[in-house]
Amino acid sequence: MNPANQTLYDRYRQYILLEQGLSANTRDAYEHDVERFTEWCESEGCDVLTTDLALLHQYTEALYATDAAASSIARMLCGVRSFFRFLQLDGMIEQDPSELLESPRLPRHLPTVLTVEEIDRIKAAINLEKPEGQRDHCIIEVLYSCGLRVSEVCSLRLSDLFLTEGFIRVIGKGNKQRIVPISPAAIEEIGWWLDIRRTVDVIPEDEDILFVSLTRRKHLTRMAVFRNIRLYAERAEISKEVSPHTFRHSFATHLLEGGASLRAIQMMLGHEKISTTEIYTHLDRRFLREQVLHYFPRNRR
């Protein structure tokens, strides 16, 4: 990256760190997106500060040429839009060329949802004789019972637990806090895990983290949780594609099926917009259709 673009990039990084309140994962993604765009401009002999809509269309075509998925391209363009908004706010460009840049149209896929029986099978596939098994058993129960993101589970702190009151404090996207009810089953599992965790000599900076690696003695990574859950799902012979987020989807869907309001689900999931939560109404309709097809006499063969 040439010195002029490096200066723009460094100022942008400082802007999203200090003024945007983005999560660390979003910041990393945006920084990578901007770095990629800037390097492409240099390879094409273009000036970032004189970029126009036509050039952004060329960049989008270049992304398509890499065979990246439409969802990946849409996400990459989010970082580019953020960059140009910053340049305009900072007075370095008069017009934001990305204002009229359209993202790829994404097909609407309904997320995978597990039944309660499938969740129980996954938990039953964990060896509770091992300390790591007790920890992972607890993680799955917290993911499902509270509808948390995997990053929220990994960053959950001992000081965020209000088990006597039946709540936990969750730090979500954009560092936003929310209070989430926790089930008696999850509280019981946390108690069992805490008995084991107290025996671990955790590194000082992670002493307040709830879920830690017993070998590394530090916070558990998202990828470790992802790998472990995949392993347990395979052992349980679950044919569905299972990830930590699957338990969050299952939590929301089961609440809706049980009669919870969409607004309450929105608050518990930490969705900024109710439109994000509305995907679960589609899931609920699918569930109802399956029930009718399965149980209504006229549909039986």
123, 135, 249, 271: the active-site residue: 271
The whole-angstrom separation of Cα 173 and Cα 271 is 9
Identify whether 218 is a catalytic site residue. Answer: no
Which run of H or of E encompasses 291?
helix 279-295
The answer for 112, left when phi > 0, alpha when psi is -120 to 50, beta otherwise, is beta
The single residue of 9, 30, 59, 280 carrying the catalytic annotation is: 280
75 labelled catalytic: no
Task: Give the residues across from 209 on adjacent strands.
Answer: 157
Given the residues 173, 178, 218, 222, the one annotated as active site: 173
Contact 141/133 with Cβ under 8 angstroms? no
User: Residues 219, 248, 249, 254: which is the catalytic one?
Assistant: 248
Question: Is 248 tagged catalytic?
Answer: yes
Give the span between the Cα atoms of 267 and 178, in whole angstroms.
8
- Collapsing DSSP to helix, strand or coil, 217 comes out as coil
Match 């391209």 to its residue by tokens. 73
Eight-state DSSP code of residue 205: G
Active site residue 245: yes
Catalytic residue among 149, 197, 219, 249: 149
Name the residues annotated as catalytic: 149, 173, 245, 248, 271, 280
